[in-house]
Amino acid sequence: MGDDEESKRSKTDYACAGERHYEDASYLHGDGRLLNADHLFGLAVECLMKALLKRFAGANGVSMRNSGGSESDRLWWDDPNAQNQNKKRKALGHVNEILQALPLLLDGRPGPALTEALTRVSADFEKWLVDDRYSDGTHLDLALLTRRQEAASLAHELHVHVQFTGKLP
Give the 3-state secondary structure of residue 68: coil
Indicate the pLDDT class of residue 86, thresholds 50, 70 and 90.
low
Tens-place pLDDT, residues 127-143: 888 888 888 878 889 99
Domain chopping of the chain, boundaries? 12-59+99-165
Tens-place pLDDT, residues 13-27: 999 999 999 999 999
Indicate the pLDDT class of residue 67, thresholds 50, 70 and 90.
confident
148, 43 Cβ separation under 8 angstroms: no
Give the list of residues 6+ apart from residue 108 with CB closer than 8 angstroms, or none: none
Say how far apart CA 121 and CA 19 lie, in whole Å.
Answer: 16
102, 117 Cβ separation under 8 angstroms: no
Does the pLDDT value for residue 159 go beyond 90?
yes
Q: 25 burial class (0-12, 13-18, 19+ CB within 10 angstroms)?
A: buried
The pTM of this model reads 0.89
The single-letter DSSP state of residue 127 is T
Q: Domain 12-59+99-165, what fold?
A: Four Helix Bundle (Hemerythrin (Met), subunit A) (1.20.120)
12, 120 Cβ separation under 8 angstroms: no
